[in-house]
Structure 1
Amino acid sequence: MESGDERPYRSHTKPACNPCRRRKSRCKLEPQTAACLMCRAHGTECTFPNGQARATPQKRSSTVTAPTIPHPAVRTPIAPPQEHAVGTSAQFSGLIQGQNDQDTPLSLEADDDNPHILGPAVTGDTHILADYLSNIPGGQGIREIRPVEPGSSSSPVIFTKVQKRPLGLLVGSSPALEKLQTIEKLVEPFGPRLIDLYLNKVNPCLPLLDERSFRAQYMNARDRISPALLACLYAHMLTYWQHDPVLSRERCPDVRFVWNLAIEAACAELHASPGISTIKAILLDIGGRPTTSIIGNGVRLGSAVALCHSLGLNRNPLPWDIPPAEKHLRMKIWWSVLLHDRWLSHAYGTPPHIRRSQYDVPLPIPDYLSDWDQNSRANAVFIELMNLTDVLDCCLEHVYSIRSTQVPPRNLELELNKWIDSLTGDIRKIIIRGSNLAIPGATNLRLAYLAIRLLLRRIDLDREKRSPDSNPEQMANRVMEARRTAEDIVVLVQELGEAQLSDFWMPVVAFTFSATVTFLIRCALETERAAGLAQSGSLRMANDLLVSLRSHQKNLSWDLADICLAQHSEVIERLLSSEPPANKADETSVEPLVPDMTFLQDLFPSTWDILQIM
């Protein structure tokens, strides 16, 4: 058979090799080569329909070393696709050059262009067009990823190139880099230590970066990492500055000033050149502490979700013909977006951005976490946190449902109990007994579980009040169940030690404390006011929570205590010092809420007022 690139794809006289036929990719032979271009890229045996092998099997393990896949922030230009080539990951990643090639970029991010996923309605049309163009010499190929798993029912995923940078914006301008340089001056010479602290302490609990590749890129080609990503990473870790034995002896930079610079860098990159690294920077921003911008977090999360949809991160990449490392990194980003979307919705009281029917990325399992052997305990907690977040999604569907449907509501209590019943080992002890809290991320998981339990109790209580068949005994039982859950939260906070306070926390769990105190005040006013609020067990419980939070704030500057203390300290103090009703008439005229206690209107600030002064 002649070698050359003139052979048309699917020619009957010069058919494509068997691997290219399975991949549905362009089979191209070059002069002086025995194997086609795609088989050399994939390390497969190049055989043709007549059964004759054209090349010795080219195993990657024996001939080349698989390169370290760098972090998605890498700004390495993607190698231009070969002429007429269509439809495999070689188009995106370029060919493997050899053992020392450590700069092979992830396949779906480039300097100047972004891959924009096409809607399902036009995928079939574009698929036919891609096949036609591949048969025309000089035809323009279309980026296309097709499932390669046998029996896969997933449809082809089509990407088209779109320009990142707005028209008229100077290529050399980089406001994000200017912000990063200022931050690096503020944290030097401890920038590398902050990176180590993140990769060792936070990333195992919420995997977002590939540790090995990011370390290599940070050490050898730092200038090719997204400035916004690095800026937000430095700002994110300032919360842990005081807990590091080396950093705690040094003066910490002004956290708020650094955060403002980092947010400006992320917004600048979102405008100038949005990509996968921009999503990571936004996630570090939203997950950063302390929380001071409710509206800003919601807006930036919405931008991250929109960018995820544009880049196809909501699609299951497992059946795609792309490197496994890239599949797992895409999934990690989506898990983090999903996690923040659900919990911010629960904390802020706004509907989530992501709907369950619009993504098919599977939940994490050990096989999808590249650092499992190194961080198995923390990763196991993360896996169950994601499973618990899926339960929370069911609750949010109920809470934010505006239009009534004929579909019976899901049994939310059953969904939570099924999750608990699936737990084993140390994770089960964290949830059932509240023990084993020394595992990284365990205390955050425990509090997240109690927050969902309290939410379910409040849903049941409200449903009971609206029910025409409600009776006082059933209502009293609902209140006691909810108070018991609130008490579990109080006990958890009371038992926190320095190790737990310096551990990984989602910043939105701070709103669980405020919700708990507000609910206990409600219980006191609805059920215990007649006997005098000073004797209320619910108020004493709320006060115990505030005392513990104040201690953690004073001793270890625990920022998660700030919002609850600022909102409720004076309220609880005034309620505990209030006088009991003067006569029986007052006892019989108790309202379910508190309109007659006018001082509460002044003492209860808006839920977000405190964030304006932090």
Structure 2
Amino acid sequence: MPCRREPLAVAAAKAPQSSIHVRTTSTSPPTSTTSAPGPKAVLSPHNPHLMLALDSPEDEDNSHIIGPAVTNDTQVLADYLSSEPSIHERMIRVVKPRLGSQVGQTPRSSMDLSGGIRKPVIFTAVRKRPFGLSPRQTAPLQKYQIVEKMLEPWTSTLIDLYFQKVNICFPLLDEVSFKHQFQTARDRISPALLSVLYAHSMIFWKNCPDLPSEYCPDSRFIWNQATETLFSELHISPGISTIIAIILNVGGRPTTSMIMNEIQLGAAVSLAQSLGLNRDPTDWNISIPEKCLRMKIWWALVVHDKWLSLAYGTPPQIKRFQYDVPDPTLEFLTSKDASDAQNGAASVFIALVTLTGVLDKYLEFVYDLNQDRDQDNGQTSLGLELSLGQWEDSLSDDVRRIITRGNNLHIPGAANLRLAYLSTKLLRRRIELDIEKQEDAALGDALTNRYIQVRRAAEEIVLLVQELEEIHLSDFWLPVSAFAFTSAITFLLRCALETENTAAGLAQSASLRLANNLIDSLQSHQQKSGWDLGDLCLAQYAEVVEKLMTADSPSATVPEFQQLMMSSEVPIIDELFPNLWDMF
């Protein structure tokens, strides 16, 4: 989606001359501009305010941020070399905060960690690829060409589908400028980015009237080719396009390789930090489109990092105190002439990013191996509850109705947001139960109440799945949403197994009936709509639930299930996350 932009002349006037390098190429009609810390910027001749900021594999160098430990030393050197433009431009590029903070800017954006005025952000040019490797390797380019040949003549339709279904809900690219370069200078776009973008859109093929229903290329083959192209680019010439391609790859459906997702995300986070994407660019002397691109990429990385952490059971890689990028606002996500659907989707995305901040606080508790859990547990529970409550109060009325009542699910991305909220709520209730169990091992009233609260949180997820319609199933979903179902059903089965002593009583358990309802709904969505998000839960638990529902054996069989699936003494992480290795 486009960003609100300032006139190009104004942006150029504010930028220091030493930070702008202009060049032209014989392969691309538009003018290419590079601001010091960022990637190539392709300016459309039809609208010079639109910037792609996507690098090409042929580019020789990347900008690499200089760490804060040596910033002051490098600043002195930069000032000295400023009298030698040729050396200065090649070695050091400085982005200085614009004089006069913007109105409404948060203190975190204008202050450094020590409470003083923000220091300049300094970059140096580093070689992009290993010595001896040409920018265009034959093997990855051939794989990209295979993907494109398989999808012709529908490549443009898949691009449109990506912006209609994905980018509106999870903004990364500027639609107008990307499509302009796709039509006029496609060879300047990263093959990895194009391959992954095609593969990412394949999940929506069957619901698109502009694509043939009688023919659909093998999406798994296309994903494999796209992933190999991406890994080749990551090795040969990583850049900002590589980060975007990784985000699309990790966010692609269906999920088939958790470990590779974690490896890719780790690479993307490291590359983004080396390019300074973790720094707040709002007061930098760079164009607004470049600011938008940098922040969108970082928001996407944070969202994937935290939700993959919840789903996969591994600590997040991004720490809150290591970035100062502000939360998204409509100013950076929509244009003045945006449609109601675009504004609604942008509001949902803002809520998802800020909810991710709440989730991050919960994850800090879950993964803290050194804390004394017996100390101040009441205050911990209150703090967790307060974080989610304050987030709810910060929402607009339309978005608040999405997460509290399940209304307005027709807004793009709304159903995914509600499931994310319910997952966070289930996690909070589960943490509170764990704290209560530490304080009172006996099944007293307080502990019983905690069990009821967790079961109700899981029940809300079941009800949401039952209420989903075709329009919701064909909407945008984060693939990690699938783990909300396994988490909910794991706890429901545990409740049933811990509270019933006979097979007959187990079959009539309210918790087991809820688990069975979830399985039935996921199977229905899978069969009628081909919805893939329930596949993992069905593969792991459909047979188990069926056996428990039809159990007519003596009560001695119940503890066998209980001992097999979970124990009241296992750590919180093992209780929260099911056995994920079954999917391999």
Residue number in structure 2 paired with 1:548: 521
Residues 528-543 of structure 1: pairs in structure 2 closer than 5 A:
528-530=500-502, 532-543=505-516
- 1:108 and 1:224 mapped to 2: Cα distance? 8
Q: Which has the higher contact order (CA 8 A, sep 6+)?
A: 2
Q: CA deviation at 1:176?
A: 2.8
Residues 77-476 of structure 1: pairs in structure 2 closer than 5 A:
106=53, 111-136=59-84, 139-141=87-89, 142-150=92-100, 152=110, 153-371=117-335, 373-374=338-339, 375-404=342-371, 409=380, 411-468=383-440, 472-476=444-448
- 2:426 and 2:54 mapped to 1: Cα distance? 44
Distance change in 2, residues 1:234/1:610 (3 Å): farther
Larger radius of gyration: 1
Write out per-residue CA displacement over residues 143-174 of structure 1, whole angstroms, 9 at most, x where no aligned residue: 11111131552210100000011112134424
Write out per-residue CA displacement over residues 255-301 of structure 1, whole angstroms, 9 at most, x where no aligned residue: 11110001101100000000000000000000000001010000000
Asked whether the 8 Å contact 2:233–2:242 carries over to 1, the reply is yes
Write out per-residue CA displacement over residues 194-226 of structure 1, whole angstroms, 9 at most, x where no aligned residue: 100111111010001111111111111111111
Distance change in 2, residues 1:226/1:551 (3 Å): same
Write out per-residue CA displacement over residues 341-365 of structure 1, whole angstroms, 9 at most, x where no aligned residue: 0000000010001000100000101
Distance change in 2, residues 1:413/1:253 (3 Å): same
Asked whether the 8 Å contact 2:144–2:226 carries over to 1, the reply is yes
- 1:278 and 1:217 mapped to 2: Cα distance? 17
Residue number in structure 2 paired with 1:559: 532
- 1:45 and 1:306 mapped to 2: Cα distance? 27
Distance change in 2, residues 1:77/1:325 (3 Å): closer
Q: CA deviation at 1:457?
A: 1.1
Asked whether the 8 Å contact 1:342–1:392 carries over to 2, the reply is yes
TM-score by length of 2: 0.84
Secondary structure class of the residue paired with 1:435: coil
- 1:98 and 1:283 mapped to 2: Cα distance? 29
Residue number in structure 2 paired with 1:32: none
Distance change in 2, residues 1:272/1:556 (3 Å): same
Instruction: Kindly provide the amino acid, as one letter, of the partner of residue 500 in structure 1.
Output: H
Instruction: Kindly provide the amino acid, as one letter, of the partner of residue 488 in structure 2.
Output: T
- 1:137 and 1:164 mapped to 2: Cα distance? 22
Asked whether the 8 Å contact 1:89–1:321 carries over to 2, the reply is no
Instruction: Kindly provide the amino acid, as one letter, of the partner of residue 595 in structure 1.
Output: Q
Q: 1:509 aligns with which of 471, 481, 487?
A: 481
Distance change in 2, residues 1:460/1:106 (3 Å): same
Q: CA deviation at 1:96?
A: 8.8
Asked whether the 8 Å contact 2:507–2:550 carries over to 1, the reply is yes
* Number of equivalences: 530
Residue number in structure 2 paired with 1:577: 550
Secondary structure class of the residue paired with 2:271: helix
Compare the two structures and name the one with the higher helix fraction: 2
- 1:94 and 1:463 mapped to 2: Cα distance? 52
Instruction: Kindly provide the amino acid, as one letter, of the partner of residue 278 in structure 1.
Output: T
Asked whether the 8 Å contact 2:31–2:43 carries over to 1, the reply is no
Segments of 5+ residues of structure 2 without an aligned counterpart are 1-7, 17-27, 102-109, 111-116, 567-576
Secondary structure class of the residue paired with 2:538: helix
- 1:44 and 1:360 mapped to 2: Cα distance? 22
- 1:324 and 1:111 mapped to 2: Cα distance? 23
1:486 aligns with 2:446: no
Q: CA deviation at 1:383?
A: 0.5
Residue number in structure 2 paired with 1:498: 470
Instruction: Kindly provide the amino acid, as one letter, of the partner of residue 154 in structure 2.
Output: F
Residue number in structure 2 paired with 1:595: 563
Q: CA deviation at 1:413?
A: 1.1
Secondary structure class of the residue paired with 1:162: strand
TM-score by length of 1: 0.80
- 1:282 and 1:428 mapped to 2: Cα distance? 31
Segments of 5+ residues of structure 1 without an aligned counterpart are 1-37, 47-73, 81-87, 599-604
Q: CA deviation at 1:250?
A: 3.8
- 1:182 and 1:490 mapped to 2: Cα distance? 42
Distance change in 2, residues 1:411/1:92 (3 Å): closer
- State percent identity of aligned pairs: 51
Q: CA deviation at 1:317?
A: 0.6
Q: RMSD over aligned Cα, in angstroms?
A: 3.2
- 1:565 and 1:443 mapped to 2: Cα distance? 20
Identify which range, 193-202 or 148-157, moves more after superposition. Answer: 148-157
Q: CA deviation at 1:460?
A: 1.1
Distance change in 2, residues 1:547/1:282 (3 Å): same
Q: CA deviation at 1:108?
A: 8.2
Distance change in 2, residues 1:606/1:332 (3 Å): closer
Distance change in 2, residues 1:143/1:597 (3 Å): closer
Write out per-residue CA displacement over residues 220-267 of structure 1, whole angstroms, 9 at most, x where no aligned residue: 111111100000000001100011112252411111111000110110
- 1:561 and 1:107 mapped to 2: Cα distance? 35
- 2:43 and 2:51 mapped to 1: Cα distance? 7
Asked whether the 8 Å contact 1:76–1:224 carries over to 2, the reply is no
Secondary structure class of the residue paired with 1:140: helix
- 2:219 and 2:88 mapped to 1: Cα distance? 50
Instruction: Kindly provide the amino acid, as one letter, of the partner of residue 247 in structure 1.
Output: L
Instruction: Kindly provide the amino acid, as one letter, of the partner of residue 221 in structure 2.
Output: F
Instruction: Kindly provide the amino acid, as one letter, of the partner of residue 578 in structure 1.
Output: A
- 2:322 and 2:227 mapped to 1: Cα distance? 29
Identify which range, 198-207 or 136-145, moves more after superposition. Answer: 136-145
Asked whether the 8 Å contact 2:29–2:185 carries over to 1, the reply is no
Q: CA deviation at 1:97?
A: 11
Asked whether the 8 Å contact 1:240–1:502 carries over to 2, the reply is yes
Instruction: Kindly provide the amino acid, as one letter, of the partner of residue 221 in structure 1.
Output: A
- 2:305 and 2:38 mapped to 1: Cα distance? 33
Instruction: Kindly provide the amino acid, as one letter, of the partner of residue 199 in structure 1.
Output: F
Distance change in 2, residues 1:234/1:331 (3 Å): same
